[in-house]
Amino acid sequence: MHELSIASAILEAVQGEAVRRPGARLLKVGLRVGELAGVEPEALSFCFDSLVRGTELEPLTLEIETRPRRQLCPECGRTFRVVDYSIVCPDCGAAGTRCIGGNELEMVYLELEET
């Protein structure tokens, strides 16, 4: 389960930021996960909660925003969301579309409270 190592890496980054802001209370970390990233959001949340429970970070929560797979049609320029694994452009029918989103795995924010 690589979600455990991802959760651990997130916490390392959060702890690094906590060192830079002594006395701040960490509240929430936001993550953006694309459907092509190979990460199961529920498993990642479970691992994150397990690693935080019983530590000085315990009030910290993880908020995950999932991102759909998106394609770009080079023929007509349309950007579209992939539905039922079809990468054919819904406007012009071109099959040679290119993936432009859905593979994200990034930490997007850290919410903290200064004391």
Spatial CB neighbours of 111, under 8 Å, sequence gap ≥ 6: 26, 27, 28, 29, 30
pLDDT in tens, 46-86: 999 999 999 988 889 999 999 999 999 999 999 999 999 99
Go through 79-112 and write b for each residue having 16 or more CB atoms within 10 A of its CB, e for each that does not: ebebeeeebebeeeeeeebeeebbebeeeeebeb
Is 25 a residue whose pLDDT tops 70? yes
In CATH, the architecture of 3-67+102-113 is 2-Layer Sandwich (3.30)
The domain spans of the chain are 3-67+102-113
pTM confidence score: 0.85
pLDDT reported for residue 56: 87
What percentage of residues in the chain have a pLDDT greater than 70?
99
pLDDT in tens, 33-45: 999 999 999 999 9
